[in-house]
């Protein structure tokens, strides 16, 4: 049961991040690059895939830092599951 809750929280955070990036990318294209909303919407999948590939390339380039961040995030998730620590 707890794993489902954690999984749903991660999924909700991922979807919220993509939605926030969508609004940010559309706003930048419309207001900064003088595109119409249709042009910005049409180019969004390309921008999203490019941003994700850039993020993966940086994660691969900085493997050690990525490993540390992943370890810290995993530790935080597992420590929150321990009631004695969580209630402090």
pTM for the complete prediction? Answer: 0.57
What does the alpha-carbon distance between residue 37 and residue 30 come to, in Å, rounded to a whole number?
Answer: 6
DSSP state of 29: I
pLDDT digits (tens, 9 = 90+) for 26-85: 888 888 888 888 888 888 888 888 888 888 898 899 999 989 998 998 888 887 777 666
DSSP state of 87: T
Per-residue confidence (pLDDT) for residue 86, from 0 to 100: 60
């Amino acid at each position: 049961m707890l794993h489902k809750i954690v999984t749903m929280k991660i999924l909700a955070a991922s979807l919220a991040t993509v939605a926030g990036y969508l609004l940010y990318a559309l706003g930048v294209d419309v207001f900064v690059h003088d595109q119409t909303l249709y042009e910005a919407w049409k180019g969004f999948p390309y921008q999203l895939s490019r941003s994700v590939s850039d993020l993966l390339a940086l994660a691969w380039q900085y493997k050690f830092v990525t490993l540390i961040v992943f370890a810290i995030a995993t530790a935080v998730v597992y420590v929150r599951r321990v009631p004695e620590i969580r209630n402090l």
